[in-house]
Structure 1
Amino acid sequence: MFRGFIFDLDGTVYLSDRLIPGADRVIYRIREMGRKVVFLSNKPLQTREDYATKLTRLGIPTKPEEVINSTLVMNRYLQKEAPGAKLFVIGEAPFIEELRRNGFRIVEEPSEIDYVVVAFDRTFDYRKLNIAYQAIKKGAHFVATNPDRTCPVEGGEIPDCAGMIAAIEAVTQKKVEVIVGKPSPIMIQTALETMGLAPQECILIGDRVETDIKMGKEARIATGIVLTGVTDEETLKRYKHSELQPDFVFSSIAEVENLLIA
């Protein structure tokens, strides 16, 4: 039915360090049938190598090139739009180091900053907010990795990048210019290019309507929602008969195996 399967990670394949039951079997079956798999994550807390190592440890052998995270997409965006730009980065060490390795200079003097780059950052504080404010007031561009309000973890959710974006928007009275992660077409295009497939040959499966499903719909890709992350049956009712109604609803990734039988 589909030649390419694009899976979200957090809330879809695993929660924190726990594999969602059946994920390993489903992905093994997809690959066994000669179909392609890529994994997407808006979270820039780990490198692609880290994600591949984690998936392999959890029982899903994965190569780094099968993982597309917002760090990769941000790097590609900045290399195209502003090679050699000076950046002030709100984000954690793996994200910052990846940008630095790709030739970007990380600075904190507002007058030197070309781009304020915002990512999920559990160390976000007033100092960082003030540097971003001063830089944007002096003309720096304002871009971000992802718009997620929360990040699913075992036992609940924690605040995500939307909190950092909102704080900066509130004090500068300027909207973020570009968000490169889901639901951005920049991320889905990267996934399609990685697999070498057309949109109509693929399905995107995730746990969040406003990012995963929205991105799939806008790219004209079939979509499936799982109920193991931030979306439950009650939440899903809000999207019934809307343009964001998923094509498929799965209680968990284990049910994706039904698509392989069809």
Structure 2
Amino acid sequence: MSKYRGYIFDLDGTIYLSEKAIPGAPQTIAALREQGCGVVFLSNKPLQPRSVYAQKLTRLGIPATTDDVINSSLVLIQYLLREMPNAKVFVIGETPLLNEFLAAGISLSETPEEIDLVVASFDRTFDYRKLNIGYQALRLGARFFATNADRTCPVDGGAIPDAAAVIGALEGCSGREVELIAGKPSPLMVEIVLDRLGLQADECLMVGDRLETDMLMGKNAGMATAVVLTGVTQREDLPHSSVKPDYILESVADLLTEARMQR
């Protein structure tokens, strides 16, 4: 484990599933911290403030603070405050995400004529009204961003549609393609992660369950990568993917025994 100075962990499907920690995850994180390694947690899910994720980790036996967690909404909000501070934004997302935008001082609107940016996100309340507002704004020239582009979100017993469903609906009716995705595998997220750790990419190991987001982000950034088989990726998926992780782990617990880190 001491080969890397920084460890970057996905949450859903890697550290926990719903309300249960992956067996061995608390012990793995504790061991890494005892060795002086930096640890951060990433989530593409913008459903809750980072403090809620930190509280959940702590409740599951992994002490964490808000600063230990980076999610796609943080990445996008920081980008907007820097690049589009005066934009009026229409967010297709759930209430906690809208509240984060408002708390950051970002102006929200549902009037297509004044919307500068449409943001697509995970939204279990997505309906035709929201789709039409987004479509009309895009037709009038609004920009088109997304918090993340995950196809599905792992839950107990399977998965549910994620932000890709909303992106696809908007792209399908507008003929526009999403311009910027804040979450994994975006380099915007990499910048914040490396700044938080104070490390270079080649000093870090990215650990996650998704080939097209977690592993791709790590590969593109120059990090070592380790896929876990406790989430959406199964062993039979690996030969069919163009993204080849450096390590294949049955779970994060394999990090406790380097000999079990299969290449």
Q: If the length of structure 2 is used for normalisation, what is the TM-score?
A: 0.96
Residue number in structure 1 paired with 2:252: 253
1:174-189 residue pairs with structure 2 within 5 A? 174-189=176-191
Q: 1:38 aligned to 37, 40, 45, which one?
A: 40
Residue number in structure 2 paired with 1:28: 30
1:182-197 residue pairs with structure 2 within 5 A? 182-197=184-199
Q: 1:76 aligned to 75, 78, 83, which one?
A: 78
Does structure 1 retain, via aligned residues, the 8 Å contact 2:249–2:260?
no
1:260 positional shift? 9.7
Residue number in structure 2 paired with 1:230: 232
Does structure 1 retain, via aligned residues, the 8 Å contact 2:144–2:180?
yes
Q: 1:104 aligned to 99, 103, 106, which one?
A: 106
1:236 positional shift? 1.2
Residue number in structure 2 paired with 1:122: 124
Q: 2:148 aligned to 146, 158, 162, which one?
A: 146
1:106 positional shift? 1.0
CA distance in 1, matches of 2:159, 2:200: 34
Q: 2:87 aligned to 80, 85, 88, which one?
A: 85
Amino acid of the structure 2 residue aligned with 1:116: V
Amino acid of the structure 2 residue aligned with 1:247: D
Amino acid of the structure 2 residue aligned with 1:220: G
List alignment gaps of at least 5 residues for structure 2: none
Q: Deviations over 1:78-114 (max 9, x none)?
A: 1111002111110011111111111111110100101
CA distance in 1, matches of 2:86, 2:196: 25
CA distance in 2, matches of 1:148, 1:261: 29
List alignment gaps of at least 5 residues for structure 1: none
CA distance in 2, matches of 1:27, 1:130: 45
CA distance in 1, matches of 2:257, 2:7: 13
Does structure 2 retain, via aligned residues, the 8 Å contact 1:208–1:231?
yes
Residue number in structure 2 paired with 1:159: 161
Residue number in structure 1 paired with 2:135: 133
Q: Does 1:173 align with 2:175?
A: yes
1:7 positional shift? 0.1
Q: Deviations over 1:99-150 (max 9, x none)?
A: 1111111110100101101110010000000000000111111100111000
Amino acid of the structure 1 residue aligned with 2:6: G
Amino acid of the structure 1 residue aligned with 2:90: F
1:259 positional shift? 3.6
Does structure 1 retain, via aligned residues, the 8 Å contact 2:73–2:97?
yes
Amino acid of the structure 2 residue aligned with 1:146: N
Q: Deviations over 1:59-96 (max 9, x none)?
A: 00001001000010010111111002111110011111
CA distance in 2, matches of 1:14, 1:43: 14
Residue number in structure 2 paired with 1:4: 6
CA distance in 2, matches of 1:179, 1:89: 14
* Equivalent position SS for 2:206: strand
